[in-house]
Amino acid sequence: MTPWFQRIRSRLLVFLHDLAMIPLAWGLTYWVRFNLAYIPPEFLDEALAMLPLVMLVMGTSFWAFGLYRSVWRFASLTDLVRIGQAVGTGTALLLLLLFIFNRMAFVPRSLPLLFLIFQVLLLAGPRLFYRWFKDRRLDFGHGQRVLIVGAGRAGEMLVRDLLRDRQAGYVPVAFADDKPRRQGSVVHGVPIRGACAGIPQLVEVFGIDLILLAVPSASAREMQRLVGLCEAAGKPFRTVPQIKELMAGQVAVNQLRPVSLEDLLGRDPVTLDWVGIRRGLANKVVLVSGAGGSIGAELCRQIWHCRPRRLILVDQGEFNLYQIETELTESGGEGVHLSRYLLDVTAAGKVEALFARQRPEVVFHAAAYKHVPLLEDQIAAALHNNVLGTQVMAEAAVRWGSERFVLISTDKAVNPSNVMGATKRFAELVCQDLGRRAACRFLTVRFGNVLGSAGSVVPRFQRQIERGGPVTVTHPEIERFFMTIPEACQLIMQAAVIGQGGETFVLDMGEPVKIRYLAEQMIRLAGREPGRDIPIVYTGLRPGEKLYEELFYASEAYAPTPHPKIRVARPEGASSPSAPPTTPVQTALANLPEALARDDEAELTALLAAVVTDWHPSPRNLIKTNR
């Protein structure tokens, strides 16, 4: 049987059903009017005589309002409204015709109301019963007994889908919800049995096999609390996607997934001014240095969708550059020209030639060395890449008329305790100095750790867990700010658009997270128990590592921006450590190439400390400096 024939047959059956309900409702109207007893012959004869007209008028109204098009399996409030409109319109038209034909002789005054009520009941009742039967049909199968956390919109849609799709093997038993007004209520026949704090008790009382978290708008802190309660209950748990991932307003069984690290460490969904971002980047020539890195590659992906006139990828890593180029070209992007350059940002001659040829209007400088322990004894490499590379790129942007230069910095540049942070702070000062003297708008964007970026703690923990442990944490109290790579890049682009020049934008990183907690949750998400299945070993702080990071200097005056997730910091006075006078920066930059050529660590340490006066070299650096 073809789908076309099935569809025609289904609609015909629905229409015939609705037609059959008309004489039934008409007869019930007269029967009820005369107290469920004998109908006088004159009224009965007139009712039978009027029946063909009633069938014609009401059938036409049903057809006009499309009642035959509704699918009974998914009957809803919308169908009930449509039935009411069709019945009301048809009844009004029928009364008008009866008045014209016979002045409504032998038509009881109560007939219009009774006829309307019986029609609605006879049309809507079978539809709703059919849906209820399908949702509640007994298949005598066995499934996992499910506790649903959250009786809001997502929970309602989820339980509806579970009841509809019994083949999925889930049997919703109860809800848990924190809102007092919902306690004791029923959602699609499933009762709300208590607050979320009682999840362990509800699991035990009702013999729950699986917990489903239907709270897509939950904050990271709330999700952490719920996950802790689920872990205390000792049962597996799943979650629906976050709001930003729910595209069609649906929550279905096939969308359930394990709780991810992003759920626990993520933040509230970020709303961006995409119109403004696209206006600022569309039809522009945009250059991204470090385009093959974690941040650089994601920046390229998102800029690509803003339709720049040309996107220029710069990276010194051949494979990384090849990967992002291939990904972008395969994703389409009609009308966007792509160029890629395999070069080192410290190669002044090549950078100059690149800018002269391409004339980029917006530059995102993400190329940098960032591994804290590695750079502690590699000060020459750190200065060469992070400072000299920034200077070369920034000065080329000034000479060749770039409109904006966005430096991607880090929270480790604030009161730096390591070489990496100090060189990134030096890079910030280079851009501030050039911004005072050039037409190009220089902007700095600071943020903390990025989940999943190359070299971050998350991939290391994953490798350690896969090997069976131990998971190594430097200190039980160490904490860091976290955000996802896409979110960081979106906020970078937002800051680039709203910046007027000279600002340091700081991304709202939410609450800091203890690395110990991160390790524990990653072990649990892998189905293991911290300390029992996989031990956590504390190894001590590494060289240059702080217990916590900062986003602002105390001397920086920071203020909100038009975007709630971005704050702007401006240095206060030239004498503060956050904004030293211009002369030391220019002097250090003038001496840097020769110092790098001599490769004298003591000289390089002194040069860096003279610019970043709040950096205190580690004992290892001091020993070498005093030799």
Q: What is the DSSP letter of 174?
A: E
> Would you state the pLDDT for residue 267?
55
Most confident range (mean pLDDT) of 110-114, 228-232, 296-300 is 296-300
Confidence label for 447 from pLDDT (cuts 50, 70 and 90)? confident
Alpha helices in 34-110 (DSSP H): 41-64, 77-102
> Angle of helix 77-102 relative to helix 111-136, nearest 10 degrees?
160
Query: DSSP for 599-620?
Result: T-HHHHHHHHHHHSTT----HH
Residue 626 has pLDDT above 50, yes or no: no
> Would you state the pLDDT for residue 246?
45
**CA 70 from centroid of its chain's CA atoms:** 35
Burial class (CB in 10 A: 0-12, 13-18, 19+), 363: buried
Region 479-507: what's the mean pLDDT? 83
**CA 458 from centroid of its chain's CA atoms:** 19
Q: Quick: pLDDT tens for 259-271.
A: 666 666 655 556 6
Q: In which residue are the tokens 């998102």 written?
A: 302
Region 192-221: what's the mean pLDDT? 86
How would you label 110-142 residue by residue, b for 16+ Cβ within 10 Å and e otherwise?
ebbebbbebbbebbbebbeeebeeebeeeeeee
Q: In which residue are the tokens 């629905």 written?
A: 14
- 9 versus 311: which is more confidently predicted? 311
- Residues 455/371, Cβ–Cβ less than 8 Å: yes
> Would you state the pLDDT for residue 455?
60
Residue 535 has pLDDT above 50, yes or no: yes
Q: Report the distance separating Cα 533 and Cα 465, nearest Å.
A: 10
Region 98-114: what's the mean pLDDT? 77
Least confident stretch, 348-357, 437-446, 474-483, 586-595: 474-483
Q: In what order do the strands lie in the sheet containing 190-194? A: 186-187, 190-194, 170-176, 144-149, 210-213, 237-239
Region 403-416: what's the mean pLDDT? 90
Q: In which residue are the tokens 């942070």 written?
A: 421
- 557 versus 498: which is more confidently predicted? 498
Region 350-374: what's the mean pLDDT? 94
Domains of the chain: 3-136 (no CATH), 144-259 (3.40.50.720), 274-450+482-508+550-611 (3.40.50.720)
Q: Report the distance separating Cα 121 and Cα 216, nearest Å.
A: 37
Region 600-619: what's the mean pLDDT? 86
Residue 395 has pLDDT above 90, yes or no: yes
Region 118-141: what's the mean pLDDT? 69
> Would you state the pLDDT for residue 482?
75
3-class DSSP string for 428-470: HHHHHHHHHHCCCEEEEEECCEEECCCCCHHHHHHHHHHCCCC
Confidence label for 347 from pLDDT (cuts 50, 70 and 90)? very high
Residue 138 has pLDDT above 50, yes or no: no
Both structure tokens of 533: 């299945």
> Would you state the pLDDT for residue 359?
96
Q: What is the DSSP letter of 476?
A: T
The active-site residue out of 412, 424, 546, 565 is 412
> Would you state the pLDDT for residue 133?
67
Q: What is the DSSP letter of 201?
A: H
Q: Report the distance separating Cα 126 and Cα 83, nearest Å.
A: 12
How would you label 207-224 residue by residue, b for 16+ Cβ within 10 Å and e otherwise?
ebbbbbbbbbebebeebb
- Residues 495/504, Cβ–Cβ less than 8 Å: no
Determine whether 412 is an active site residue.
yes
Q: Report the distance separating Cα 504 and Cα 407, nearest Å.
A: 9
> Would you state the pLDDT for residue 620?
52
Task: Return left, alpha or beta for 335; rule: phi > 0 is left, psi -120 to 50 is alpha, else beta.
Answer: left
| Omega of the bond leading into 512 within 30 degrees of 0 (cis) | no
Q: Report the distance separating Cα 86 and Cα 66, nearest Å.
A: 9
End-to-end CA distance of the chain: 91
Q: Quick: pLDDT tens for 161-191.
A: 787 766 667 888 899 999 888 887 888 878 8
pTM over 0.85: no
